Structure 1
């Protein structure tokens, strides 16, 4: 594959990115190829070292989305990275989803219990929480769960960036 074909393939696979970002990435790759050729390397060698343009595009797009805190758009790029990514996405993504649902549920439960609902039980350290403390207890539990959500999302983001950087090497 020659430089022109490689760049066309790369451009085709970067379609989901914003135009400005896509053009910057293409310029950077073209400059890398030109610099390597100017340093005396064969074009075919440089292209081979860059690897499959589809995989490079996934890496670049995934890194862009991860660095710009758009984790949901980054997920498809990294699930395709293999079983390790599949495991990481569904483990930490699933935990984040469950923790956030628990946080919302603890707030709603605290409000319902304060308003007199008999369906909601609140215990902490094997002791029943007084009805008047149901909302603060629910908020405290929610705050703890949201910290866990944040840590799961941060772990995913760091993993995505690490995988994207490994693909680029």
Structure 2
């Protein structure tokens, strides 16, 4: 039913999807194969169907973008860095925005935890932990936990809003990228 021209298209798509997990790659290729077969069965010329789908490299990017959409399904640090690497290559702004938001989110989140631990330890009498409000103004030990909670909450809030901003920015990039690809409407319809 599908000609050698169509098979060649599917092989190229499969090649460009090689970075996806095997199951998702095979699902994507089978979905496109089914789309082509259905179009042929409905009397559409195969070359017209393939032209609507567009370049297999761009179609593969759309599938990879969909796979990496946001951070909902991140299962490992390697996968997170793969996603961040993908988006960092999408433009100069992304090269600046994504690393800054990720660094602030994770760095400040880690610091908020450390501030809480420092507050507990200083309250328990650990002498080498200093907490200063300003130069020469040390926090009394009995107020260490309150001070740590307030500062930790502020720093944690910055981390949280940076994380939310990072997720929204990545979702925005994914959506814009998918909208710009030719043949996108034929996949959704």
TM-score (norm 1): 0.73
- 1:1-169 matches, cutoff 5 A: 2-33=5-36, 38=42, 40=44, 42-48=48-54, 52-53=58-59, 55-63=61-69, 66-69=71-74, 71-114=80-123, 115-123=125-133, 128-169=138-179
Distance 1:55 1:49 in 2: 10
State the structure with more CA Rg: 2
| Distance of aligned partners of 1:29 and 1:127 in 2 relative to their CA distance in 1, 3 Å threshold | farther
Backbone CA RMSD of aligned residues: 3.3
Distance 1:39 1:117 in 2: 82
- Listed one character per residue, the Cα deviations across residues 52-104 of structure 1 (whole Å, up to 9, x for unaligned) are 345334423322x6331454441111111111221221121121133123213
> What stretches of structure 1 of length at least 5 have no aligned partner?
none
| Distance of aligned partners of 1:166 and 1:88 in 2 relative to their CA distance in 1, 3 Å threshold | same
In 2, are the aligned partners of 1:95 and 1:149 still within 8 Å (CA)? yes
Distance 1:39 1:60 in 2: 30
